[in-house]
Amino acid sequence: MTEAWPAMPEGSRLALREILIHGVLSRAEIARSLGLSRASLTRAMRTLVANRMVVEIGTDVRGATGRPSELLQTSAGEWEFLGVKLTKDRVYAAVTDLGGRVLALHEEAIVSPAPEDLADQVAGVADRLRAVHPAICATGVSLPGDVVSRGGVSIVASSQFLGWQDVPFADLLRERTGLTVFTANDVHALTAKEHWLGAGAGRRSMVLVTVGEGLGLGLIANGQVSTGAHGRLGRIGHLPVLGGGPDCGIGHAGCASSYLPSPVIVRNSGHEGATYDEVVELARSGDARAIRAFEDAGRALGVVLASAVLIADPSAIVLTGDGLPVYDLARASVDEALRGALAPYTEAVAIEVQPFEFSEWARAGAVFAIRRLLGE
Query: Which residue ranges make up the site for Zn ion (CB under 5 A)?
Result: 238, 248, 252, 255, 257
User: Using H for helix, E for strand and C for coil, what is the string for 199-243?
Assistant: CCCCCCCEEEEEECCCEEEEEEECCEEECCCCCCCCCCCCCECCC
CB 258 within 8 A of CB 245: yes
Cβ closest to Zn ion, residue 252 vs residue 371: 252
CA distances from 19 to 12, 16, 75, 371 (A): 11, 5, 11, 13
Cβ closest to Zn ion, residue 255 vs residue 369: 255
Cβ closest to Zn ion, residue 198 vs residue 245: 245
Cβ closest to Zn ion, residue 45 vs residue 248: 248
Strands (E), 19-172: 24-26, 54-60, 69-74, 80-86, 90-97, 102-109, 136-143, 146-150, 153-159, 164-167
Cβ closest to Zn ion, residue 255 vs residue 366: 255
Q: Report the nearest approach of Zn ion to the CB of residue 256 (Å).
A: 7
**How many Cα atoms sit within 13 Å of 326 on the Cβ side?**
35
Q: Report the nearest approach of Zn ion to the CB of residue 209 (Å).
A: 17
Q: Report the nearest approach of Zn ion to the CB of residue 274 (Å).
A: 23
Q: Is 127 helix (H, G, I), strand (E, B) or coil?
A: helix
Q: Report the nearest approach of Zn ion to the CB of residue 267 (Å).
A: 14
Cβ closest to Zn ion, residue 139 vs residue 257: 257
Q: Report the nearest approach of Zn ion to the CB of residue 337 (Å).
A: 18
Q: Report the nearest approach of Zn ion to the CB of residue 250 (Å).
A: 5
Report the sign of the C-alpha dihedral through residues 244, 250, 255, 258, in that order.
negative
